[in-house]
Structure 1
Amino acid sequence: MQYQGVLKKMATENLETVQYYLDMETDFLNMNQLLNKELEFHFITYECLSCGLEKEIYRQGFCKKCFFETAKAGDWIMRPELSKAHLGIEDRDLEYEKQAQLQPHIVYLANSSNVKVGVTRKNQVPTRWIDQGAHEAIEIVEVPNRYLAGITEVALKEHVADKTNWRKMLKNDIEDESLESWQEKLREFIPEEAKAYFIENNKETSINFPVEKYPLKPKSLNLKKQESYKGKLVGIKGQYFIFEDETVFNVRANEGLVVKIVVK
């Protein structure tokens, strides 16, 4: 069987084991069902996720023009502390920014390669944790807008990491931590504006990924450069496919690529 479409971040479902779904336009693949199967990936062309044109992808699935123009790629997305919709100040599209920024946001702790702090919209819990490959996570603050979440993250990352080591995450080189203890330890560093939104007596969420074999030395597949690849799928974690030969492929980092997938 073969499928063709533009790569987009996999949809997920947090069941006993995370279920992964890849939208290939005319087909919606449950990737868990393809574990232990031989897959071929072929790079065909590009398709910008914003304008839909066949233009080389610059970042985040967008062509260069769209990356610098679309509201979906504003600086406030990667740096939520720059959010200004609560002040009625436009970055690129105020209506879009109000919808995205003026809704409940969660500041959380997640453990993927190490304990890290992060921000997400409340309706993206636990999706955001799954995408980062976190095996455990906890909500620590719930605020009414993205700005408050952003300044809280900035304050807390002085005391805890804000990045995931993707190699350690994929090797499953992890330690269990008491995130409740971390939450209490970081409580004093929450900014005054957000202290009232601290979540009391919260519990960790555990996440199990469909991985049968973790790589000892993961090597990243550059499909644009290599153009084609064949391997046996042995796991999925975060937004990565893990293959038997220790090749790993980050679907999120390759959004906007049109690919053909052949299932043997």
Structure 2
Amino acid sequence: MQYEGVLTKMQTEIVDEVQYYLVWKKDFVNLNQLIGKKISINFLKFECLNCGLEKKIFRQGYCYDCWSSIPSAGDWIMRPELSKAHLDEEDRDLEFEKRAQLQPHVVYLANSSDVKVGVTRKSQIPTRWIDQGAHEAIEIVEVPNRYLAGITEVALKDHVSDKTNWRKMLTNEIVDLNLAEEREKLKDFIPEEVQQYYLRNQTELEIKFPVKEFPKKIKTLNLAKNPFFEGVLSGIKGQYLIFENGTVFNVRGHEGFVVDLKVLS
């Protein structure tokens, strides 16, 4: 079997364990079915996810010109506390920013390597947790806009990390915790204007990933430096493909790369 397309982050659905899909314009691949099989990945060219031109990818699947101008790559994406649509103030495109920012957002705890705090749109749960490789997660607050979620995250990250140790996540160096208890420890640090949105009754979600064997040592595959790779797929976690020789491939980190994918055996 052979497939070709521009990489975007893997789409997922949660059943007994997470199902992963590469979705392209004319085809899709259920990657779970390839676990245990030898596959090859061949980098062909770049294709910006916004303008569609063959230009070097700068960040988030976009060429530099698009990344520095389009509203979906504004600073408030990575730093939600910078959101201003609730004030009717424009960053790059107020109409877009209102649609994205003025909707329910959740501040959560996710445990993928250690417990971290994060922000996502309510509609992205549990997708966001899956993308981070979290084996358990729980909501802290649900607020009506991105700004309130952002200032809550800023307040809480003085007391809990806001980063994922992706190496520990991929080697499965995990500890199971009672996230409801961890949430309760943080309650008093939530900003006063957000206290009313505290979710004391939400229970944690446990997530299982399709991995036959976790690597002991990790080697990262960068297609810009090494455009061809082949190996036996042993699992998928977060947005990473894990191969038997310890090589891991960050699919989301290669958005905008056009690849040829072959199933060899």
% identity of equivalent residues: 66
Q: Distance in 2 between matches of 1:4 and 1:91?
A: 36
- Find the counterpart in structure 2 of residue 78 from structure 1: 78
- CA offset digits 1:96-119 (Å, max 9, x no partner): 000000000000000000000000
Q: Which runs of 5+ in 2 are unaligned?
A: none
In the TM superposition, what are the counterparts of 1:60-209 in structure 2 within 5 Å? Answer: 60-209=60-209
Count the aligned residue pairs.
264
Q: Which amino acid is the alignment partner of residue 208 of structure 2?
A: N
Q: Which amino acid is the alignment partner of residue 107 of structure 2?
A: V
- The 8 Å contact of residues 36 and 232 in structure 1, kept in 2 or not, is answered as yes
Q: Distance in 2 between matches of 1:211 and 1:159?
A: 32
- The 8 Å contact of residues 211 and 236 in structure 1, kept in 2 or not, is answered as yes
Q: Distance in 2 between matches of 1:24 and 1:248?
A: 21
Q: Which amino acid is the alignment partner of residue 90 of structure 2?
A: E
Q: 1:25: Cα distance to partner?
A: 2.2
The answer to whether residue 224 in structure 2 is matched with residue 224 in structure 1 is yes
Q: Which runs of 5+ in 1 are unaligned?
A: none
- Find the counterpart in structure 2 of residue 245 from structure 1: 245
- Find the counterpart in structure 2 of residue 259 from structure 1: 259
SS at match of 1:241: strand
Q: Distance in 1 between matches of 2:108 and 2:14?
A: 17
Q: 1:122: Cα distance to partner?
A: 0.2
Q: Distance in 2 between matches of 1:63 and 1:26?
A: 23
- Find the counterpart in structure 2 of residue 20 from structure 1: 20
SS at match of 2:181: helix
> Pairwise CA RMSD of aligned residues?
0.5
Q: Which amino acid is the alignment partner of residue 30 of structure 2?
A: N
Q: Which amino acid is the alignment partner of residue 149 of structure 1?
A: A
TM-score (norm 1): 0.99
Q: 1:16: Cα distance to partner?
A: 0.6
Runs of 4+ in 1 over 4 A off after TM superposition: none
Q: Distance in 1 between matches of 2:138 and 2:78?
A: 21
Q: 1:218: Cα distance to partner?
A: 1.1
SS at match of 1:260: strand
SS at match of 1:58: coil
